[in-house]
Copies of this chain bind each other. A is one copy, B any other.
Amino acid sequence: MNKEEHIKATAKEIFFFKGDLHATTQEIADAAGVNRSLINYYFRSRDNLFEIVYNEAVETMRNQLDNVIYSKQAFKDKLKSLIEVYMNEILKYPYKESFLITEICSKNVLLKEKKKSQALIAFIEEVRQEIEKGTIKKTDPVHFVINLFSLMAYPIVMAPLYRKLLDLNKEKYKDFLSERKAMVFKLITE
């Protein structure tokens, strides 16, 4: 059991799944069952640890999406794959997106070097072509893509809120999210 990797995995769970933004190095160390100083030994600083695990998590997501976007499938199949992959990934670390906004943007840490997404732009172009072909109904392709990601991500990211507002337990909400995969596809295409 590699402690360096184990610390990173634990930090990801705490930050991006549990959503404990303010977890101290001590809490992370406790959860990982290691001495706090090890965190400094391997990662030098808390900020650095955060940056590393964040980048890794983003990278994983990016790879998954790239695989789908650049795959050779019929457009509608690709769309189904995308929904499946993206919603599953975001369920793994639902707080990752919120942290991007609240932690990283204001710090200007990561967005500085972050360039426009080649894959996303390619996907928008593909959507444009499919609209021309008539595979899907006429829309602005940028809106189409943003709609798609909104419909997938928002209900997961905001789950704690809407579970309260709608008075649904975890089980019910899980079913609700499962239903959405087919529903989003339908709403977006037809």
Residues of A within 8 A of B (CB): 18-22, 95, 97-103, 105-106, 111, 114-117, 120-121, 139-140, 142-143, 146-147, 149-151, 153-155, 157-158, 160-162, 164-167, 176, 179-180, 183, 187
Once the chains bind, are A101 and B161 in contact (CB under 8 Å)? yes
Cα A150 to Cα B97 in complex, Å, equals: 14
Cα A97 to Cα B142 in complex, Å, equals: 24
- Residues of the B chain whose Cβ atoms lie less than 8 Å from the Cβ of A19: 101-102, 105-106
Report the minimum CB–CB distance from A173 to chain B (whole Å): 11
Cα A20 to Cα B103 in complex, Å, equals: 8
A100: contacting residue among B143, B161, B166, CB under 8 A: B161
A101: contacting residue among B115, B139, B142, B160, CB under 8 A: B160
- Residues of the B chain whose Cβ atoms lie less than 8 Å from the Cβ of A120: 165-166
